[in-house]
Structure 1
Amino acid sequence: MAAPVPVPSTHREVRLTARPGGGPRPDRFEVAEVPVPVPRHGQVLVRNRLTRVGAVTRTLMEDAAGVLPMSPYAPGRALWAPALGEVVTAPGTRLGPGDLVRHQLGWREYAVIEADDARRVDPALWPDPAACLSQGFAGWLAVVRAAAVQPGDTVFVTGAAGGAGSIAGQFARLRGAGRVIGSTGSRRKADYLVGTLGFDATVVRGEAPIEEQLRAAAPEGIDVLVDTVGGEQLRAALALARRGARCVVIGALSAQARGGTTAEVPVDTLALFSGGITLRGLTTADHRDAVPRWEEQFSRGLRAGVLTFPHTRLRGIERAPRALGELLDGHHIGTVLVES
């Protein structure tokens, strides 16, 4: 067990100063210096190493109560998000100094969490422990559990260069999909999807109408949709859905990037029932039982070299608000992590 390390008297945390009412401008955040919290018996003091920044952060900045299966952020208080940290001290628990744990109190340098809320991370399972913060769980659930991708399926993944979409495409390929198509926002990302992640074709937002590009990439239609974007891309996918297609919605980035708490898309219900097409919303909160299986398959694939963990690392907790803006503007590939 590692020896205790000195703990400073203060640390930094990122707070929401006011609800955005538009884009997540810098003046909606503050980096506050506050005392390092002291754990009680049964609690764990963690030195955070990485915080995950995701599109859901933008939605939680609004008064989104009831929209998501989690409470929105409160102005004047620190934000929170999945984080990877190192245990400093954990009186009365089975954790010890130096243990790595995953928890939900990111956006700060130190955190005190209940022992039951700290999930131990085994470094031996992960070529890079940062991978335990992957957003790919949602993409994996869509491919493996909700859509049950079969050999020969044509799969369309929207937002395919993002944290969830990049993993969904890789698992679709591992399950034998005959053709994997991804949408993205730039030619740079499209080249990455094909050249690095093994996608067969791409749809690039802004180059031509989405449906026109998708018809060219999948002339016989699609069997599976994994949708992280919504809007025009969801409409195009439904227009090309083959009989018996399985469509799984795991995000609504087209609305979330603007801070929207609704994401309406016209749906032809006649086409759904006559074609036997399923359209399903999926949230990871309803599938916590699958986490061990996901982690086993993902970590094994990483160790074997058949999967990669696309991610971007940015240094400094003060960089987190900017990282969120950059993510929403489409600058980064994969899961976005901020080192602290």
Structure 2
Amino acid sequence: MNKVILLNKRPVGKPTADDFKFIEEETPVTQEGQVLLKTLYVSVDPYLRGRMSSAKSYTPPFELNKPIQSGIIAEVIESKNPNFKVGDFVSAIMGWKELQVSDGKNLLRVDGSAAPLSVYLGILGMTGLTAYLGLTEIGKPKAGETLVVSGAAGAVGSVVGQIGKILGCRVIGLAGSDEKTTMLTSKFGYDAAINYKTTTDVQAAIANAAPNGVDIYFDNVGGSISDAVLANVNQLARVPVCGAISVYNETEVPMGPRIQTTLVKNSILMQGFVVSNYVAKFPEAIKQLTSWLQEGKLTYTETIVNGFDHIPQAFLDLFEGKNEGKMIVKI
């Protein structure tokens, strides 16, 4: 039998284990042109919370009583498709299933000998692409500028900071524990890091760490942390808005400082994005990220959770900040 995880009900506020349902189904049978895939690694990401809601967004919501989907690395264990052979490793957006069939059209073959397979869900996958393209296409960093990153110890944030340093910026990170802030400066090369949970005045702490003001703010969290950063931005600052994990589970529209006067007064560019906006630039971005990784200019951290049955809890743990870097479930 084949284990599958379905969306049981739509969350109200913060998701819970009851929002997921485990079932078993017959092991799928391949037809001509198909491959049978065995799931090896599953990516869990904050954006999945949006797809659990029925609200209109940039991608369709998950259907109730249907498998949840995310980035997956799988092994081809049976092939009736001439483009793939048994033993190939592939990456795609697929269902939370132990085994599944595919016609091969959306599968990207990955090289398990060139890098650990999990990396293709992280720094050489959507995580790295999001960091690189959001920062370079919207942030447009210049040497000598100051970059602030919220959610800096997370999957995307930890990469953004490193790219900022490679491109000559002073980089300041915001994270939620002393362990994470230490990691930002010792492992990822951040110039300064602020624990927003223990800092009584985050706005003042940012001002102290960025005496010349903030030129780029890569926003992963939204909420009061972003209010504090925006109070320190310079003229012509750029703000790529990647996510807003601090407010994803709110049941009412949160109220904060009105930012329009700040945007106008400082001629700020503030732009939300999803990585698929830049799909045409994926090849060159992956080439650059791979080069930096091979040269030792980029490093990464993963939080690996073991076991198919633990996928929902790994997802829930994202909202408690229990991950360092990319959260991945190894099956």
TM-score class, shorter: over 0.9
Equivalence for 2:10 = 19
- Aligned length, in residue pairs: 326
Q: Which amino acid aligns with 1:129?
A: L
TM-score (norm 2): 0.93
Equivalence for 2:150 = 158
Change over 3 Å in CA distance of 1:114–1:129 after alignment to 2 = same
Equivalence for 1:230 = 222
Report the RMSD for the aligned CA atoms in angstroms: 1.8
Q: Tell me the distance in 2 between the aligned counterparts of 1:276 and 1:292.
A: 32
Structure 1 counterpart of 2:103, from 102, 111, 114: 114
Q: Which amino acid aligns with 1:119?
A: L
Q: Tell me the distance in 2 between the aligned counterparts of 1:264 and 1:13.
A: 39
CA shift, 1:129, in A, is: 2.3
CA shift, 1:337, in A, is: 0.5
User: Which sections of structure 2, spanning at least 5 residues, go unmatched?
Assistant: none
Deviations 1:262-290 (A, max 9, x none): 66654433332342211111111211112
Structure 2 counterpart of 1:311, from 297, 302, 314: 302
Q: Is the 8 A contact 2:34 2:102 kept in 1?
A: yes
Structure 2 residue 26 is matched with structure 1 residue 35: yes
Q: Tell me the distance in 1 between the aligned counterparts of 2:269 and 2:220.
A: 16
Q: Which amino acid aligns with 1:51?
A: V
Q: Which amino acid aligns with 1:244?
A: L
Q: Which amino acid aligns with 1:42?
A: G
- Any idea what SS the aligned residue of 1:117 has? coil
CA shift, 1:204, in A, is: 1.4
Q: Tell me the distance in 2 between the aligned counterparts of 1:260 and 1:46.
A: 38
Moved more, 103-112 or 220-229: 103-112
Q: Is the 8 A contact 1:61 1:72 kept in 2?
A: yes
Q: Tell me the distance in 1 between the aligned counterparts of 2:254 and 2:162.
A: 27
CA shift, 1:305, in A, is: 1.7
Q: Is the 8 A contact 1:252 1:263 kept in 2?
A: no
Equivalence for 1:129 = 117
Equivalence for 2:92 = 103
Structure 2 residue 245 is matched with structure 1 residue 253: yes
Equivalence for 1:282 = 273
Q: Tell me the distance in 2 between the aligned counterparts of 1:111 and 1:295.
A: 27
CA shift, 1:92, in A, is: 3.2
Change over 3 Å in CA distance of 1:316–1:262 after alignment to 2 = farther
CA shift, 1:21, in A, is: 1.7
Q: Is the 8 A contact 2:76 2:90 kept in 1?
A: yes
Structure 2 counterpart of 1:242, from 234, 238, 245: 234
Matches within 5 A, 1:1-340: 10-64=1-55, 66-67=56-57, 69-124=58-113, 126-134=114-122, 135-177=127-169, 179-207=170-198, 208-256=200-248, 258=249, 266-340=257-331
Q: Which amino acid aligns with 1:36?
A: T
Q: Which amino acid aligns with 1:308?
A: T
TM-score (norm 1): 0.91
Moved more, 297-306 or 197-206: 297-306
- Any idea what SS the aligned residue of 2:69 has? coil
Q: Tell me the distance in 1 between the aligned counterparts of 2:223 and 2:250.
A: 14
- Any idea what SS the aligned residue of 2:208 has? helix
Change over 3 Å in CA distance of 1:274–1:22 after alignment to 2 = closer
Q: Tell me the distance in 2 between the aligned counterparts of 1:262 and 1:81.
A: 27
